[in-house]
Amino acid sequence: MRNLFMLLVATGCALPDNPPVTQEIAWVDQETEDLARRACYDCHSNETVWLPVHRLPIIHGIVVGDVERGRCHMNFSTWDLGNEDAWDAPDELLDGDMPLPFYVQHHEEADLTDAERRRLAEGLRATFELDPPKDGEPCEGADDDDDRDRDDDDDRKEDRRGVRTEPTDGTGATGDSF
Contact pattern for ligand HEC over residues 5 through 44, marking x by CB under 6 A: ----------------------------------xx-xxx
**What's the closest the beta carbon of residue 7 comes to ligand HEC, in angstroms?**
26
Q: How far apart are CA 128 and CA 32, in angstroms?
A: 12
Q: List the x/- string, 47-66, binding to ligand HEC by CB under 6 A.
A: -------------------x
Per-residue x/- marks for ligand HEC, 74-113, CB under 6 A?
Answer: x----------xx-xx--xx----xxx--x----------
Please give the Cα distance from 93 to 99 (Å, whole number). Answer: 7
DSSP 78: B
Cα 43 to Cα 72: distance, rounded to the nearest angstrom: 9
Q: Note the Cα 108 to chain centre separation in Å.
A: 20
**Residue 79 near residue 34 (C-beta atoms within 8 A):** no
**Closer CB to ligand HEC, 39 or 178, in the complex:** 39
Residue ranges in 152-171 that form contacts with ligand HEC under rule CB under 6 A: none
Give which of 125, 18, 122 is closest to 77, Cα–Cα: 18
* Residue number with CB closer to ligand HEC (70 or 82): 70
Instruction: Output the CA–CA distances (angstroms, integers) from residue 65 to 37, 54, 176, in the order listed.
Output: 20, 11, 42
Residues forming the site for ligand HEC (CB under 6 A): 39-40, 42-44, 66, 69-70, 73-74, 85-86, 88-89, 92-93, 98-100, 103
